[in-house]
Structure 1
Amino acid sequence: MEKLIINNRPIGSGEKPYIIAEIGSNHNGDMNLCRQMIDAAVLSGVDAVKFQSWSAGSLISLTEYSRNTQYADKKKHFGSLLEMVERYQFTPQQHKEILHYCKEKGMTFLSSCFSKEEVDLLESLAIPAFKIASMDINHIPLLEYIGGKGKPVILSTGMATLGEIERAVNTLKKNGSGPIALLHCVSIYPPAYNTIHLKNIPMLQMAFDLPVGFSDHTLGTAIPLAAIAIGACIIEKHFTLDKEMDGWDHAISANPNEMEIIVREGCNVFTSIGSAVRTVTDEEEEKRKKFRRRIVIRQPMKEGEVISFGDIDYKRPGTGIHPDEFRYVIGRQVNRDFEADEWLEWSDLK
Structure 2
Amino acid sequence: MTPTKARVGINIDGRSIGPGCPPYIIAELSANHNGDLNTALLLVDKAVDAGADAIKIQTYTADTITLPSDEPEFQITSGLWAGRTLHDLYEWAHTPWDWHQALFDHARARGITMFSSPFDATAVDFLDDLGVPAFKIASFEAIDLPLIRYVASKGKPMIISTGMADQDEIAEAIAAARGAGCKDLVVLHCVSGYPAPPADYNLATMTDMAARFDVLTGLSDHTIDNTTAIASVALGGVIIEKHLTLDRTGGGPDDSFSLEPGDLMALCRDARTTWEAVGRIDYGRRSSERENVKFRRSLYFTQDVNIGETITPDMVRSVRPGYGLAPKHLDEVIGSITTQAIHKHTAVRRDMFAAPDTTSSASEGNKT
> When the two structures are superposed, what TM-score results if normalisation uses the length of structure 2?
0.83
Is residue 55 from structure 1 mapped to residue 56 from structure 2 by the alignment?
no
Contact persistence 2:93–2:253 (CA under 8 A): no
Is residue 263 from structure 1 mapped to residue 268 from structure 2 by the alignment?
yes
Distance in 1 of aligned mates of 2:342 and 2:100: 87
1:237 aligns with 242
- Residues 1-350 of structure 1 aligned to structure 2 (within 5 Å): 1-2=4-5, 3-64=9-70, 80-81=84-85, 82-281=87-286, 284=289, 286-287=290-291, 289-296=293-300, 308-309=312-313, 312-331=316-335, 342-343=345-346, 345=348
Contact persistence 2:159–2:188 (CA under 8 A): yes
- C-alpha displacement of 1:6: 1.2
User: Unmatched 5+ residue regions in structure 2?
Assistant: 355-368
Q: Which letter does structure 1 place at the counterpart of 2:322?
A: G
- C-alpha displacement of 1:72: 9.1
Q: Which letter does structure 1 place at the counterpart of 2:53?
A: D
User: Unmatched 5+ residue regions in structure 1?
Assistant: none
Quick check: 6-15 or 224-233, which moved more? 6-15
- C-alpha displacement of 1:10: 1.8
The C-alpha deviation readout for 1:147-204, integer Å capped at 9, x for no partner, is: 2222211100111112111111111222233422111111112323332111222212
Aligned length: 344
Distance in 2 of aligned mates of 1:301 and 1:242: 74
Distance in 2 of aligned mates of 1:337 and 1:95: 80
- C-alpha displacement of 1:332: 5.0
Larger Rg: 2
Quick check: 247-256 or 307-316, which moved more? 307-316
Q: Which letter does structure 2 place at the counterpart of 1:115?
A: D
Distance in 2 of aligned mates of 1:349 and 1:233: 54
Distance in 2 of aligned mates of 1:90 and 1:190: 21
Distance in 2 of aligned mates of 1:322 and 1:180: 50
Q: Which letter does structure 1 place at the counterpart of 2:324?
A: G
Distance in 2 of aligned mates of 1:132 and 1:29: 23
Contact persistence 2:62–2:88 (CA under 8 A): no
Q: Which letter does structure 2 place at the counterpart of 1:316?
A: R
SS of equivalent to 1:328: helix
Distance in 1 of aligned mates of 2:139 and 2:108: 27
Quick check: 32-41 or 269-278, which moved more? 269-278
Contact persistence 2:10–2:185 (CA under 8 A): yes
Q: Which letter does structure 2 place at the counterpart of 1:58?
A: T
Quick check: 155-164 or 140-149, which moved more? 140-149
SS of equivalent to 1:176: coil
Q: Which letter does structure 1 place at the counterpart of 2:18?
A: G
Distance in 1 of aligned mates of 2:305 and 2:129: 92
Label 1:55 to 1:308 Cα distance change in 2 as closer, same or farther (>3 A): same
SS of equivalent to 1:135: helix
- C-alpha displacement of 1:232: 0.5
Distance in 1 of aligned mates of 2:128 and 2:337: 85
Quick check: 150-159 or 288-297, which moved more? 288-297
Quick check: 21-30 or 187-196, which moved more? 187-196
CA RMSD of aligned residues (A): 3.0
Label 1:71 to 1:204 Cα distance change in 2 as closer, same or farther (>3 A): closer
